[in-house]
Structure formats: structure tokens, C-alpha cells
Structure 1
Amino acid sequence: MSRPASARALIVAAARSGAGKTSLTAGLMQALAARGLAVRGAKSGPDYIDPAFHAAATGAPGLNLDSFAMAPPLVAGLLGAQAAGADVLIIESAMGLFDGLGQGSGRDGSAADLARAHGLPVLLVLDVSGQSQTAAAVALGLARFDPGVRVAGLVLNQVASPRHEAQVRAALAPLGLLVVGAVPRNTAMSLPERHLGLVQAREHPALAAHIARLGAIMAAALDLDAILALAAPLAGTSSPPAALPPPGQRIAVADDAAFAFFYAHLAAGWRAAGAELVPFSPLADEAPPAGCDVCWLPGGYPELHAGRLAGNRRFMEGLRAFAGTRPVHGECGGYMVLGEGLVDAEGRRHAMAGLLGHATSFADRRLTLGYRRARLRADCPLGPAGGHVRGHAFHYSTVTAGGDDAALVDLADGQGAALGPAGGRRGLVSGTYFHAIAAESRP
């Protein structure tokens, strides 16, 4: 395979979630990397899990690009930074190609925003299971829906037989849409799932072997040269501005299977600003390192490890001692651990750190999902009082006791509808159920 003269990029998208984008994307990345290309990955929209599979397939860190939460200069800077030194950058769409807030502002969070703003071609994954001619109608609708978004090629996924493939190709032939591969139905491609989506890459059994198997499947099913030819060269961009100011000089960051939801662009931005990130593992009963001046508890799956966390005295006592003199902030799962207690899926209550007064339950499940806008009521690791932050919420747990702590933020949804005061703060401790992505500039 010939190497491109400069970094090129394309978006892998589909009509909906569950069409096989992540397996196909990881396999495509692996197949291209096996040909000697330097491949990088990114995910459009808020997502912690898929970028880790991209990293496993490419051997380089993944990244998120979010047109709603990130201002255009930040998106452009991150796009350029992720492509630096690469032959090809593959961006996986969240949900369907055009799915976002639907405001038509160019900042609705959809993959179509990225395609339109940066001239990125779309490789459309067409799940043809249970259909033949209708698949052509779906493809044509997506290709013509927005003249500013170019569907450059199609991959037929979940093909049942050679006859099925021939039927779909015959229906597509008059439409002028290029088919660059057909992937047979194969249950071995599936990735295990849990309540927030795919099981984390770090927990996947035999991950390297699974990624290699996906790569072999895609190398056989796809025209890799044709796909590479579809990718568009990226224009040069400046270095990305910081998404959030670093909350300290040495930042203790919880990092294990219970606290894995930490955005790569935040880490990179803080390091670029001169901060040092020091990982520690609450599941291994490690306390926040004493030499740090702030502690960050990311989201993750503490509800799956509540009993173990509750029994880890070194972690809990060390966290409480740290919070007596230095700021501690928790997001989503981290916020749950900062509270008084957490009820697991079996209804068992486990005592948490007690640094904030709320309590949460995973037994009483209710999905909360969507973009968030927040105005900070007080100085905290997210920024100064009066500052604005954009992010998202995605959790099934619920608050069963609100406690009496002061609210940390005034919260609104992605459209700006007020959701009221949220989060909590007490002394140097703060927390929110939403995940911060970037600060928002206001006139």
C-alpha cells in the first residue's frame, strides 16, 4: 500500500447506534496499521470507551472531538494535533451521522458537524441485516440529506450470504454510491457490553487477540486502498488551546477499572500547561499521593466495585486526609464515592467517603443522558466562580438523599433549558454528576 504524502482523515459513520461502527473501525485501524501506516483514532461526541479500543488498534492514544462542548478553535487544534505524525486519522461517529442537538448551528455535537466544518469525507457503515433494496434507500437518504456532508463510500455490514450482497449491490448500482467492502455476518466480531455501553478495553479478555481478529476480518472484507484514497488531506491547524485550566500543579488522578472515564484532551491540555498528572488506584487501596496539590476522581464504574472500595481503608482515610488541606473533585462515579453511601445493584448499601452529604443508588436505575451547560457558583477545580463549563451526563444511578451541601453549579441542558442547582461543595471538596469537557467563553 502506498503512503499518503500528508495526514489524511475520514469519518466512519452509520444511520444509528448498534450498526457495528466500533468493531469495524477498530478492525480497519488494525488492518491499516498492519500495512505499515501510522494510524490515529478519534471519536465524535462524548464517549470514554471507544477511544480506548482505538488506542488498542493503533498503538496511539485516542481522542474525542465534540462540536457542542468544544469551541471551534479547540476542535480544529485537537484535530490537527491528533493527526500530527500520522498517515491517516479515522474518526468514529457517535450514534447516527446526523444525530446531535438538531439545532443546525454547526455546534450540535454530531459527526456531520465535523464533516461539514473540516471537509471530512464519510465512510458509511450500512447495516444490511434484514433488508436488501431498502438498504439502498437508506444510503441514498443519508447521502443527500445535507449537501455539505459528503458520503464518499459505503461498507455493507452484516451481509448474510453472497446472494444477499449481490442484491444490495444491485440496488445501489444506479445511485452512484461507491461500495468499498462487504463484511459477512460474524458473531465473533461482537464486543461485550454492560449498562454504559461496551466493556472497557482494559477489562476485555484477550483484547490484543480480538483486535487482531477484527483486523484480519476487515483486511479480507474491505478494499483498504480504496478507503485510503477516500480520505481527505487535513489543513494545517494551530496548537489546541486548553479545554480547562489545570486545577493544580501536581494532580492526583484516580485511574483504574472503577475510575477510568477521564478525557485524553484534558490530560494533554493540563500537561501542555505545565501540570503533572500522578495516577493512583483506589481499587488497589492507594491513597492520593501526598505530594499532589489537588485530587481528581473521574467517573467510571464504582457501582460494580462498591464493596471493595468501601473496605479499602488506606484509600478512604487517605482521601479524607487529603481533602482536609487540598481540593478534591469528583465527576459522576467520583461524585458517588464522595457521598455518604452507595447502594449496589443487589440493594446492598456501602459506606463511601462521606466528604459530601448525598447518597446514591444503582439499584434504583434511571437513565440520565445528554449534554450539559453549567455556571460555577464557587471556585473549584473546574474553574473560577461565575465561569461556564460544557459537558455531558450519562449514568443509570440516582441520588436517593440530597444532603445539605451547597450546590456547586447552576445546570442547564444542551438547549439551555434550566435544570436547577446541582452538584455539591463542602470545604475543599466538590462534585457533580456531569462530566466536564471544556470551559465555555462568554462575552
Structure 2
Amino acid sequence: MAAGLIISAPASGAGKTTLTLALARAYRDRGLRVQCFKSGPDYIDPGFHAAATGRASVNIDSWAMDREMIARLVSRGADADIVLAEGSMGLFDGVAVRGVLGTGATADIAEMMDWPVLLVIDVSGQAQTAAAIVTGLRNFRKGVRLAGVVLNRVGSARHKDLVRGAMTDAGIVVFGALPRHAQISLPSRHLGLVPAEEQAEVGGLIAESARVVTEHVDLDAVLQSASAWSPPSTPCSLKITPPGQRIALARDAAFSFFYPHMLEAWRAAGAEISTFSPLADEGPDANADICWLPGGYPELHAGRISANMRFRAALRAFAETRPVHGECGGYMVLGTALTDAEGARHEMVNLLGLETSFAKRRLHLGYRIAELAAPMLRHPASARLRGHEFHYSTIVAQPDAPLAIVRDAAGAIVAETGSRRGQATGTFFHLIAEDR
């Protein structure tokens, strides 16, 4: 039987990912089987979880997923000694309108799974007030249990004593305190952390994080605070339709954003997946019956993608007879041109009329519901797909027929409708689940 724990915070930037990775590696170093999950729509953190634990991590999401799907995903933790689920944003932060099960808040998963919450608190710039904040979080919602806190960015021994004393007076367990000068941060860029597969030194960074946390946090007490938990004995299927039987999937530093549960669902449904690298000037497998370009960082590699004529020609030839789909960055590459941060315009594959610019940056972020205007990759017209959009690129032109009517979580229509032309389709949102 596994023990489960949610790692959360009052806000983003408090140190959730670093603490999760450090605890995961520290427990693994003790010989424990550690299973991580990510609450919410983040396609980068699961890669770091896998690097820390040696086990694949997946997203679980109360807005996009139903209870059966979440049960199926968390069943991978059945043989673990400890389950660590990393939250997103602040503990109770979600959208205003409920989705399938909830608002997407970390607290939804904590209550649903009955996993107590370990809060990491950035106490820089405050002392006793930190205890008031934690007390408010502890009492805010029935059904969400607080295990205790780890203090982060503590300035001095006196600072630590002031905060710890106030926490103790409020009946809050303090598992440890991490000093402000500890160098355990991970490199980041405009869409979050630099992906784990791009960092040759990621193992060393996680190991150093584990060393610091082992020195300053009571690992035994944290482990004992976790709640005993057993997943369903007969989990259901993931209920995600694979886009084809033989799928050619672009995978490299420009095309790395893909939810792990999607690949799992495709393979569980019998699909075969082959990968290729556009950055290496490779084309899709000629034996595939559909090609999928996921999101990533094409804006950082636009010149190279534009110069890779073999890739561009192979993809255009593929699209003459078989479907090609792009998500976010993949959608941008299927278009006519991409303008990079320096203002240089680069020709793309030209399967769609979309033109985008990273020089004109504006944040696009949030859950999306798409109602298809035409059939797409085994999905019939009017099918409803749930996903998430997160990018800074702006649309210069989007002349093709819209792929879908796309709404945000509150039901408001958004301009990023996606496009369709011939065998090519694309969206700015990343697919998470299907409405059933």
C-alpha cells in the first residue's frame, strides 16, 4: 500500500518543483519506490519527475478529466512506497467555472484522493505572518488536510526561529527550513523550466537538491505524514481515441511538449508510434498513417527548421495523402511563416496559411473546450475536446477554415480557433481529454 502526499504552496514560485524533485530523489536514494504525479496541465514537470524517480510521471487534472480517468492514471502508483503529487500555482487556484470534476485546483486532487498537503512556504520578506497565511490555507476548505510545511528561503537562524515559533503556536508542523543561499534552483525560460531532456546536468542538479533537503528537512516525519492509499483494483481505460494506427510523432528540442498520458492511451489502444526529428532534417515514417507535431520551442529554432528542406518536403508529401496535425508550436510550423524574437521572418512548411510572430509577444493561457467544425483524426464533427493553451506567440494571419469553435473555461469564445486545409489541421491548445 502506497502513502500519498500533495506538495503545494500559496502561490507559484515558492519552490514546489524543487522540493518535489529533492524529496523524490532523497527517498529513492533510501531504496524506496517513488511515484510522482503533476496536478494540472504542465507538460514539462513530469519529465523532471521521471529523472528524479526513474518512473514515468503523468498529469492528473480535475477540470479536464473525469474520476475514472484519474483513477486509471494514479493506478501506476499501486506498487510505490510513496506517491508525491506536485501541485500547480497556489493550493486553491483554479478557474471560475467548474469543469468535469472541479476547477483544476490542486485542492481538488488533494480532497479527491484524500492525500494530505505539504506546503512549501517562501518566507522571504516576512516572519510570523507566514503562520497566518498557512492557518488560512489550513482552514479554507473542509476535506483538504494539511500535513505541515517546509519553510523556504529562510534568511538566518533568528528568522527561522521567529517563523517556526509562530507556526508552532498555530498548531502547524514544520518539517524543515531551507536557507535562502541554497543554490538548488533549476534553469527556466519563457514557458517554464528548461525541459529535463535539454539539460545534461539535470541529474546533478536533482542530486544536489536532494542533498540540501536531506540536510534541512526531517524526511522521516514527512514520510510518516503521508496518508495510506490504495488505487482501484480494476482501473478503467483512459478513453482517449488515438489519431491513427501508425503514428509518426515529431520529438526533439523544438517539439517536446506532449502529455505523457496521451502516449500511454494511444499505445494502450493498440497504436504504434514512431518518432522523427525535424531539427535533424528528418521526415515522418513513410509507413505511418498520420503525423503529429506536438508543441515545444520552434520559435527558438525557426531558422534551422526553415533551412531543413528535406523535412519540409517530406511533410508536404506526407500530407498529400494522409493527415498531419500540429499542436501549438507544431501548428506554427505547419503554417506559412514564423517571426522570431529578433524580428526575422522564417518560412515554415506552408500546409496551412497561419502566420505567427514571437516578436509580438502576448501571453495566451488557460483551459480550452473545442467543438470541432469538421471531422478531425477519428473525431467526428461537433466532438468536444478539452485542452490547455499556453504560449506567447501571436497570430499575424489565420486565413484557413476554422477547425473548431474554441471557448475558454468560462465559455467565452477565443480567437485561436485552429485551422484546417486539405489533410492538415492544427490548434493552439494541447489536447488533454475528450468529453464523453
Q: Same fold (TM over 0.5)?
A: yes
**What residue in structure 1 maps to residue 109 of structure 2?**
114
* 2:93 is the counterpart of 1:130: no
**What residue in structure 2 maps to residue 233 of structure 1?**
228
**What residue in structure 2 maps to residue 258 of structure 1?**
254
The CA distance in 1 between the partners of 2:262 and 2:378, in whole Å, is 11
* 2:211 is the counterpart of 1:216: yes
The CA distance in 1 between the partners of 2:216 and 2:321, in whole Å, is 58
> What are the ranges of 5 or more consecutive residues in structure 2 without an aligned counterpart?
none
**What residue in structure 2 maps to residue 32 of structure 1?**
27
Name the SS of the counterpart of 1:148 in structure 2: coil
**What residue in structure 1 maps to residue 281 of structure 2?**
285
The CA distance in 1 between the partners of 2:55 and 2:416, in whole Å, is 39
Aligned partner (choices 185, 202, 209) of residue 190 of structure 1: 185
**What residue in structure 1 maps to residue 238 of structure 2?**
242
The question of whether the paired residues in 2 share the 8 Å contact of 1:78 and 1:240 is answered with no
Deviations 1:274-331 (A, max 9, x none): 1111111111111001111111100000000000001111111111111111111000
The CA distance in 1 between the partners of 2:74 and 2:165, in whole Å, is 37
The CA distance in 2 between the partners of 1:323 and 1:230, in whole Å, is 54
* 2:103 is the counterpart of 1:85: no
Q: How does 1:213-362 map to 2 (within 5 A)?
A: 213-237=208-232, 238-362=234-358
The CA distance in 2 between the partners of 1:98 and 1:362, in whole Å, is 32
After superposing the two structures, state which structure 1 stretch, 240-249 or 350-359, moved more.
240-249
The question of whether the paired residues in 2 share the 8 Å contact of 1:329 and 1:431 is answered with yes
The question of whether the paired residues in 2 share the 8 Å contact of 1:378 and 1:384 is answered with yes
The CA distance in 2 between the partners of 1:46 and 1:92, in whole Å, is 11
> CA 1:243–1:256 in structure 2 vs 1: closer, same or farther (change >3 Å)?
farther
Question: What is the deviation of 1:192?
Answer: 1.2
One-letter amino acid matched to 1:76: A
**What residue in structure 2 maps to residue 3 of structure 1?**
none
* 2:5 is the counterpart of 1:48: no
**What residue in structure 1 maps to residue 145 of structure 2?**
150
**What residue in structure 1 maps to residue 427 of structure 2?**
432
The CA distance in 1 between the partners of 2:286 and 2:227, in whole Å, is 48
Structure 1 residue runs of 4 or more that deviate by more than 6 Å after TM superposition: none
The question of whether the paired residues in 2 share the 8 Å contact of 1:295 and 1:329 is answered with yes
Deviations 1:383-421 (A, max 9, x none): 221110111110000110122x11111111012223367
**What residue in structure 1 maps to residue 94 of structure 2?**
100
Q: Under a length normalisation based on structure 1, what TM-score does the superposition of the two structures give?
A: 0.96
One-letter amino acid matched to 1:16: A
Name the SS of the counterpart of 2:183 in structure 1: helix
The question of whether the paired residues in 1 share the 8 Å contact of 2:74 and 2:231 is answered with no
Deviations 1:232-281 (A, max 9, x none): 12233233433520111111111111000011000001111111111111
The CA distance in 1 between the partners of 2:59 and 2:42, in whole Å, is 7
The CA distance in 2 between the partners of 1:89 and 1:327, in whole Å, is 39
Question: What is the deviation of 1:84?
Answer: 2.7
The CA distance in 2 between the partners of 1:274 and 1:173, in whole Å, is 54
* 2:373 is the counterpart of 1:381: no
Q: Under a length normalisation based on structure 2, what TM-score does the superposition of the two structures give?
A: 0.97
Question: What is the deviation of 1:382?
Answer: 6.7
> CA 1:321–1:387 in structure 2 vs 1: closer, same or farther (change >3 Å)?
same
Aligned partner (choices 420, 423, 426) of residue 418 of structure 2: 423
The CA distance in 2 between the partners of 1:84 and 1:20, in whole Å, is 27
The CA distance in 2 between the partners of 1:112 and 1:184, in whole Å, is 27
**What residue in structure 1 maps to residue 7 of structure 2?**
12
Name the SS of the counterpart of 1:51 in structure 2: helix
The CA distance in 1 between the partners of 2:266 and 2:310, in whole Å, is 28
Deviations 1:180-199 (A, max 9, x none): 11111135211111111111
The CA distance in 2 between the partners of 1:193 and 1:416, in whole Å, is 32
Name the SS of the counterpart of 1:251 in structure 2: strand
**What residue in structure 2 maps to residue 369 of structure 1?**
365
> CA 1:218–1:240 in structure 2 vs 1: closer, same or farther (change >3 Å)?
farther
The CA distance in 2 between the partners of 1:353 and 1:421, in whole Å, is 20
One-letter amino acid matched to 2:364: T
After superposing the two structures, state which structure 1 stretch, 342-351 or 70-79, moved more.
70-79
One-letter amino acid matched to 1:375: E
The question of whether the paired residues in 1 share the 8 Å contact of 2:71 and 2:231 is answered with no
The CA distance in 2 between the partners of 1:20 and 1:421, in whole Å, is 32
One-letter amino acid matched to 1:388: R
The CA distance in 1 between the partners of 2:236 and 2:152, in whole Å, is 36
> CA 1:224–1:187 in structure 2 vs 1: closer, same or farther (change >3 Å)?
closer
The question of whether the paired residues in 1 share the 8 Å contact of 2:364 and 2:391 is answered with yes
The CA distance in 1 between the partners of 2:345 and 2:238, in whole Å, is 39
**What residue in structure 2 maps to residue 168 of structure 1?**
163
Question: What is the deviation of 1:206?
Answer: 1.1
The CA distance in 2 between the partners of 1:175 and 1:136, in whole Å, is 7
Name the SS of the counterpart of 2:267 in structure 1: helix
After superposing the two structures, state which structure 1 stretch, 21-30 or 379-388, moved more.
379-388
Deviations 1:142-176 (A, max 9, x none): 11111211111111111111111111111111211
The CA distance in 2 between the partners of 1:291 and 1:67, in whole Å, is 37
* 2:154 is the counterpart of 1:159: yes
One-letter amino acid matched to 2:187: P
The CA distance in 1 between the partners of 2:81 and 2:139, in whole Å, is 29
The CA distance in 1 between the partners of 2:283 and 2:239, in whole Å, is 27
The CA distance in 1 between the partners of 2:137 and 2:418, in whole Å, is 40
After superposing the two structures, state which structure 1 stretch, 11-20 or 145-154, moved more.
145-154
Question: How many aligned residue pairs are there?
Answer: 434
After superposing the two structures, state which structure 1 stretch, 37-46 or 373-382, moved more.
373-382
